[in-house]
Structure formats: structure tokens, C-alpha cells
Structure 1
Amino acid sequence: LKLIVIDDECRIINTMAVNFGKELPEFRTENGVHRHTDGVTVTSPVHMWLKAIDVCFEKFKKCVDVSRIRAISGCGQQHGTVYWNENAEKYLSNLCESNDLAESLKDAFARNDSPIWMDSSTTEECESLEAALGGPMVLAEISGSRAFHRFSGNQIMKIIRKEKQVYESTKHISLVSSFVPSVLCGRVIGIDAGDAGGMNLMDVRKGIWSEKCLAALATTDKEVAILEKKLGSIVPCETVVGKMAPYFCKRYGFSSECEVIAFTGDNLSSLAGLCLQSGDVAISLGTSDTLFLSVHQYVPALEGHLFRNPVDPNTYMGMLCFKNGSFTRDRIRNVVAASDWKSFATLITQTPPGNNGNIGFYFDDNEIVPNIRRGDYRFNSHGEQVSSFEAAVEARAVLEHQCLAKRLHAENIGYDISRRKRIFVTGGASGNRHITQMLANVFNCDVYVHENADSAALGGALRARHCSMYREKDFFNISANAISSRLVAQPNSDAVKIYDRMLPVYAKLEKKIAAGRKE
């Protein structure tokens, strides 16, 4: 759990965090989660989150004049679901400042463990949802994504099918992002239109629940109506959902006039924290690589996701998750450069951009984007598959593969290369100048490193400021002071031309590999 405080000039005043494993060891989690013995079910204890809120605010009141906080917003990990029982509203509206949240709300849930984004136990449900809608592309056209294990609708379907008593005892279903403001306001708050896009249940273009998607979970009209009531009405992203409950005013010193703005999903909040505008791309380089961007056109694809943009109602947020990121880069480095990045960098300089026509594809695990099974696939300049590359060719090939894949699939979900502006990179590999330079050349635009590490938390603070104080003004104009970034790479015109010619060749080979997967 992280918290950021900004002032009216968008300067960061304070930051604090709660480490679930270290500070709340009584819940016996590993990095805040419980991995179940079946190897696919992953949950988090709801009461741990409640206790973390109290621990965070205890730290908060010692560092900041809490009474001066005008508004609060934030985000939650996407896809996680919380199941409130029929007594939840009573407990929420009667929080006592002498008891902590976990104690006061101990009997408010139909299920004490929340399925979270790491869960992959819903294969049957994903198949059922896609079949009921007429195929994965039909589902993507409605909900912004094909069915994914972690998406909330599939998790809810699993509860309906396999935990009937839990579902029947559930009066309200929250996402993590609506669970937190529900606690802060002392009443159940609806799911925001941004994060609802990570459920496979909302019509993304209309911003309302899709009757077709709901019907795949609850088969009769009566059951659909019950499910829709449990989910509640979708809340626009910019909604002031209430004010801080008396519990937080009395226990921590918040003003009773402090407004709570609808929370959203963590990835959507990062888009706000980076102030990404149309033409910008953000790339997080980590264990898995994530790319997100603002797009004007609604162009659904099987491998990506489209959400309603939480800070720009005229655009959508597109997102791509590449499963094979830093571990794959590290593996190739270990093989060709004896685990040394300096030696790896030297190897890259021994080959030109375009790698003399050699192209490789590297997947330690079955890839999501594109849908290709694990393995290494190498092609020479004639398009012929080969078993190996020389060390220098291999070093460049793995980076060119990952950079070209990002551009190719960004264009597949609506990125317009002719309207390009900037790339922001974050994550451990953002300091690798060869990667950032290659991204600049492949996308033909400047690359910046964002100085603020917690873009998701910052996005919540910026949205709170905008919605509470500057609602009638453009979010990007009034949030510009929050951007702290430095230019790290600019495109080389000769390399740009090479990669422009290389991209369709790369795309053709990728299709060839994907087709082979189905044989």
C-alpha cells in the first residue's frame, strides 16, 4: 500500500508505504498474497488490506497536517474482487474510531479472501464466456479484451459455479479500486468506468454493463438482474463519490469536508500519473513488459486491452502485457556475455541496426502478446529458420525482437505512428541505454525516463486535485508540473528507416510462428 501527498503546485510533499509481508506478518502472506496448493489459485486476505489502511494513516498523521487534505483518490490492483455480505452497509456506516477497521468489519464479507490478478484458475470460465458471446473477438469488441484468467467476470463466474453459498450470501461485489473508497466513505461505492473495463463485463464504448456478458454468468433474466444489482451502477471516473467517514476524521484528523473521488485501476492510474496524452507511449520494463497508451479509435484486438481513459473522455487507454521481459533479456545475456551487461553492450555494437537481416523471437514462457508457445525462433536474412546465431547477432536480436513487438502490437490496438510524440520508460531496464536508443529508433520518437517511481499513486493524487479543485480545466494542462522526466534517447534517422523496413518482415515471421503453434 502506497500513499503520496501533493500540494496545489503538484509538488510531492510526502510519501509512505506499508509492506504487507514485513509489517503485517500475522497474515502469513508472500508479498501480500496466498498461493494455494493447486498452483493456480492466488488470493489476498481482505482484512490485511483493512489493517494496512490503518497502519498507513497512523504513519500519515505523524508526518502531515491531515486536516489540510482537500481530496483523496487512488487506485487498486486491477481485477481483484471483494464480496460484501448483507450486513456490510450497517458495519460501514457505524465504524467506531476506538476499533481498527479489521475489527469493525470482520463480519462484513461473504468471502474473506479476494481472488486477485495473479490467479489463473478460471480456464473453464474463460472458455464458457467466449463461447457464450460467440468467440473471443466478439467478447473483445464488447468488453475491450478477450477472456483472461485474471479478469473479474471470470472470477465471479467461478464463485457462482463453485461457491454457490458465498455468491448467495453476497450483497455487493466490489473491485479493489471500489472497495477502498467504500471504506473511506462508510458506504458501498460503485465500480468506476475505467477499472470496470478489466472485468469482461462492461460495454467499454457505452460505459454500462453488457447484458450479453452478464447473461453468460447468470443464465436467466432474474439471475442477470440479481448479478447486476450486486455489481451496482458504474460510476464515471471523475465522480466525487462522497466525503471521508467520521471514523477517519476522528481517528486521524481528516476534515469532514475532505472529498473522495472514485478510485480506478492501477494501470489506468499510472496513465494519469505519467500525464500520457494522445501520441505518448509508456513502457514498463520489468519481469514482464507492459505498454500502455492513449488512443482515439476503439480498435479491439485479441492480444491487447482497451479501457475507458480515466482522465480524457475522448480517448481510450490501450494496454499490452508481454510476459517475457527481463528474465528473457537476462537469459540471453547470461549465455552470450557470461552474465555481464558491459560485455553484452559491446556485442551489440558489433552489429548494425537491423542485424543484417537476422531476426529472432525469444520466449521463456508461453507468450500472451503474441500468442506463441515458449521457445527461441531464429531466422536468417533469407527468412529461413536456423538453430543458432553468433553471440553478437543473438545479443542484438533479443532486443530488436522485444522493441519491434511493442510497436507492431501497439499499432494493432490503435497506435498511430504518424501522431507519435514521446515514449516514457520505467522499470529496472530503463537505465539500459541500448534498449532506450533502440526504442527511440523503432518508434521514431524521443525517449524519456520518468523520475517519479510511484506513477500509480501519483495518478491518484493528480486526479483528486483535478476533480476536486479544477474540474472544468484540462487535466493535462493543470497537471503538467507533476511531470519530472529526462531525455535519454533520440531517434537516429538512418536506423529509423531500417526498422521501418524491418517491421513488416518481422510481422510476417511472427504470423508464421503463431500459425505453426496451431498445427
Structure 2
Amino acid sequence: MGKKRLALGLDSSTQSLSAIVIDIDTAEKCFEHSLDYRADTRLNRFGIGEDYILPPREEGEAEQPPLMYLASLDAMFADMREAGVALENIVAINTSGQQHGHVYLNRNAANIFSSLQKLESSASELKTLLSDVFSYPTAPIWMTANTVAQTNHVRETVGGKAEMINLSGSDAPLRFTGTVVRRVAEQYPEHYTATAKIQLISSFIPAVLTGNVNVPIDYGNGCGMSLMNYRSKTWDPALLAATADGLTGGTETFHSKLPALARPDSIVGNLAEYYVEKYGFEERCTVIAGSGDNPQAKVPVAGDLLSLGTSFVNMVSTDGDTLDPEGFANAMYDGINRPFMFGCRTNGAMVWDAVRNRYGLSKEEYVPAEAALAQVAPGQFMTFWQPKTESFPVSGAYDLIRSVGQPTLAEDYTGIIETSLAAVYTYSAVFTKQTQAPLFVTGGATDSPEIMRRVAGIWNRPTLPVEKGGAALGAAVAGVKALHDAANEHFDIEAFSASVLKRGEPIQPLPEDVEAYHGAGKYLERFREKYEQIMAAHPV
């Protein structure tokens, strides 16, 4: 029997670096580990605060130290070796990175990166070897919100909201990379001028792994930049021109700072000698282009995926042409290049927890709440509450609004669950195909039969609970597919994903629930009318 073949998925997220190792031939998870940037003593020396960002110089700024990402790689590989993971059996490494986050690399970066190919580099550490590669010292991340002027400029220059969506697949959210780069260039022109390459965090990590500063940006994460034409998967001339308007060197110089674009599951090289010598990796270990955390999290599920976490994330598979004309959702490609729409509702399960808390129940006290849900038939009550400004659909924050004067736990809890689910369903309808294919659902709410019953009724399709996978797992699965593709071998990614990501039994919608929600003048119709009134009264 030959040696095991392992695939490693890495997720460089806002708060941690996570790793999952999968046995390619058995679809078994062999190792899982996560390093918290604040809790790990090797990583908590880079100046981030409790919010995991550096102290902002102004409101809306959100940046992290890229040296922390480098230190986390060394720490992770050291821990894996210490844990007895057979690093020499890892034949593919695929990565995920927090979307929109990026780094600015100077003209010396290419030569410095290539030093990782030298045997003697293993005597040092990544944070030391690569300390001088940055033209701008920090990495702006997805929490950035100070780009209103830049975003408006780009949107208006290309012809307005509809054309912005038509070109990029999104309505230029503040966090998207292109307008953040424009702001950095306006505020710090000397740093922009000194920049030779801009890499997303998701492409920066494979660049560090291969010792090649010119690793491409993938299509999936390229969608989160307001620079790529969604349908042609190329840097869009109009978007580039609008973003570079007035910057030093204009469009041509700006374009030169961007890497090429590639499929997220393409092979971009082999692991650099640094890792072979220092940790014992196999020198022929392939490195995959990688993608963002949301595209990678979507990989193990081919259909529509609803994640019911603190915030709600709805990932809807599409034909690649369907977009959201309102701009609430963003068009993306997943980690194996399948198109999907991404919508994120900020006020998710955290509001459910807050309602239970009003009745004296702690966050983990689900039994009384479940019993209360069972007392109420679906489609009866509406409770609205947005403690935070909402992005799906865009609307302001407001306090609790009820449909009854003296509510009980059952009425309030049912009401808040059904209105928040109805919001996701209603404002996703424009890009969601009507189908009886199962809706995959993940998150703690999958343990609640009453909540899952309501999901099935509102979506009017079977719902299928799946365990939480995460971006590192998706990256590992996509890495396995990339290996098989490179060898021209058949690979059933659905069967492999079903083995590595456990699924429950499907829950069928009950006819009476479907009627209560979807009938003429029934819940969903009344919900939309009431919610539109509330949003009009509470603009952003």
C-alpha cells in the first residue's frame, strides 16, 4: 500500500489562520487546527486591538499588519509538525483569504520573494525574510468603510448603479478592493507610486508559499474588487479607468500593478524550498491559486446554501448571467469556478438571541424557545428588529416593532424568526431559481425542527441540514479537485463533498405552511408591505 496523499486547506481570516487536512483517497479529515491572532503568543505582538484591527487613524479605516499573516504561516506549520502531521504526504495546498483584504508590494518584492527558493532561507522566518516587501505597511481589510467618495466616483464615472452592476456584478460596496486602493493612492501617493503589485490576501498567501510575487488573482475573489468584468472574467477597461482617474500614471500604471486573473482551482506552482527544508514538506507539493473565504465555503455544496449564523449568508447558484438589479447581493464565483450570488443579512441569529434574552433565556437556552415555537402555527406573527444597520436589504437600524400589543415568548420569537427569514427569501427572489432541489442549510438553527420547518415552508422546497464546513475545508476540497483535473482524472466532487461534509435528512415543506406563507394576501405578501413601510421610515 502506497503512502497517504493529503490535501491541506488554509484559511487566513480576520481573526485567525485555520488549517484542515483531508485524506484524498478516503475523504476523511485528518487534522484541524486554528490559531487566533490575539490568543496565540506568537501572533499577538503586532498591535491589533480587541476588534482585530490596528488602531484606526480615522473613522471607517480597518487595517491589519501583513507581518502577522506571515508569522501565522510559520506558527501553523510548526504546530502541524509538532502534532505529527505527515507534512511530506501533503501533495496540494489550497488557500482561502478574507475577501477584499489586500497588500501593496514594492519593486524589490520579486527578488525578495525568490529568496524563499534558496536552501539557506530556512534558517530564518517569513516575517524577517519578507519584512521589506511592502510599499504600504498595512493591509486594508473588508471592514473598511471610509471610501464613500471613491465609491461614488467610480459608480458615477462608469454610468451609474445599473452599469456598475452590469459590469462588475455588484454595486461597488465600500469594502471592495478597487475603491480602497483609490483612497490609499489619493491619501498616500508616495506609497502608491512605490507599489509594483497589489495582491489580495487570498493570492498573497500562495505567492508566499511559492516564492513568486506574480501569482494570479482568482476570478472568485476578483469579483470583490469592483475591477473585474463579471461575465468576461477580465480586468474591465471602464472600471480600471474610473478607479485610476486622476491617479499618478493613470489607467496604464494602475493596470500594471494588478496580477493576471485565473481560475481559483488552477495550479500556480510548487512549494518553495523554504518549506521543504524547514518543515519537511514534499518539494513537488503543488500550490493552488485559492480564493476568498465565501467562495471557498461554497465549494462543498453545489446547490443553494443558507448559513444561519450571527449574520445570515445566502449563497445562490446561478447561470452566471443572473444578477441582483437592486445591488443588495454580490455576484461571485466559488472556489471551483461555479457562479453564485452572495447576500449577507447583518441582523441574523444574534437578534433571535436578543429576543430570547428579553424573556430571561440565556443564549444557550434553546429548549423553552423551541417549545414556544411549537405552540404557534407558521405565518401568524411579525416582529421586526434591526439593532444594526442592514445591508440585505439596505436599511437603517431600528428598535423592536411588534404586530401584537402584549406579546408572549412564542409570538415574539416566532415573529422575529419568520420576518428575518422572510427578508432573506424575499430579497433573494430576483436571482433565485424556483426549484424543488434541496436548500442546504448550515448553522446552529439546523438543530431546531421548528425553525427548519419554517425555512422549508418559506422557501417552499426541501431543506437539507449540513454540518458547518468553513473556508479551510472548502479550500482543501477544491485542492483535491485541482489535483485530479491536472492529471486528467475523473473526480466526483459531489460524492467527495458528501463524505467530508456530513448531511442530515431532508425536511419537506408542509402544504399548510406553504399556503400560510405563499397564499394570496398571506404572510409573505403582508410582510413585504409592512417591511417596506418600516424601511422607508428608517433609512440608512
Q: Shared fold (TM-score greater than 0.5)?
A: yes
Q: Choose 96-105 or 434-443, whichever is displaced more.
A: 434-443
CA distance in 1, matches of 2:245, 2:54: 32
- Following superposition, the deviation at residue 144 of structure 1 comes to 1.3
State the TM-score, normalizing by the size of structure 1.
Answer: 0.91
Measured at CA, do residues 118 and 354 of structure 1 come closer, stay the same or move farther in structure 2, by a change above 3 Å? same
Aligned: 1:403 with 2:403: no
Look up the match of 2:38: 21
- Following superposition, the deviation at residue 147 of structure 1 comes to 1.7
Look up the match of 1:181: 206
Q: Which amino acid aligns with 2:35?
A: V
Measured at CA, do residues 489 and 217 of structure 1 come closer, stay the same or move farther in structure 2, by a change above 3 Å? same
Aligned: 1:468 with 2:483: yes
Q: Which amino acid aligns with 2:418?
A: E
- Following superposition, the deviation at residue 466 of structure 1 comes to 0.9
CA distance in 2, matches of 1:268, 1:393: 37
CA distance in 2, matches of 1:456, 1:291: 15
Look up the match of 2:328: 303
Q: Spell out, residue by residue over 1:87-131, the C-alpha distance to the aligned partner (whole angstroms, 9 max, x if none).
A: 001110012111100000010101221011112121222222222
- Following superposition, the deviation at residue 377 of structure 1 comes to 7.0
Look up the match of 1:383: none
Q: Tell me, what secondary structure is at the counterpart of 1:513?
A: helix
Q: Tell me, what secondary structure is at the counterpart of 1:206?
A: coil
What does residue range 61-460 of structure 1 map to in structure 2 within 5 Å? 61-62=81-82, 63-95=84-116, 96-188=121-213, 189-219=215-245, 223-272=250-299, 275-277=300-302, 280-296=303-319, 297-301=321-325, 302-311=327-336, 313=337, 315-336=338-359, 339=362, 341-355=366-380, 358-376=381-399, 378=401, 389=407, 391-412=409-430, 414-426=431-443, 428-451=444-467, 453-460=468-475
CA distance in 2, matches of 1:136, 1:287: 29
- Following superposition, the deviation at residue 489 of structure 1 comes to 4.0
Measured at CA, do residues 419 and 310 of structure 1 come closer, stay the same or move farther in structure 2, by a change above 3 Å? farther
CA distance in 1, matches of 2:136, 2:510: 55
- Counting matched residue pairs gives 503
CA contact (8 A) 2:294 2:334 kept: no
Percent same amino acid at aligned positions?
Answer: 26
CA distance in 2, matches of 1:21, 1:433: 37
CA distance in 2, matches of 1:263, 1:410: 27
Q: Choose 36-45 or 11-20, whichever is displaced more.
A: 36-45
CA distance in 1, matches of 2:369, 2:154: 45
Q: Of 46, 54, 73, which residue of structure 2 is paired with 1:53? A: 73
Look up the match of 2:5: none
CA distance in 1, matches of 2:128, 2:197: 20
Q: Choose 162-171 or 509-518, whichever is displaced more.
A: 509-518
State the TM-score, normalizing by the size of structure 2.
Answer: 0.87
Q: Tell me, what secondary structure is at the counterpart of 1:417?
A: coil
- Following superposition, the deviation at residue 269 of structure 1 comes to 0.3
Q: Choose 292-301 or 136-145, whichever is displaced more.
A: 292-301
CA contact (8 A) 1:276 1:293 kept: no
CA distance in 1, matches of 2:185, 2:367: 53
Q: Which amino acid aligns with 1:18?
A: L
CA distance in 1, matches of 2:437, 2:469: 25
CA distance in 2, matches of 1:113, 1:167: 13
CA contact (8 A) 1:47 1:112 kept: no
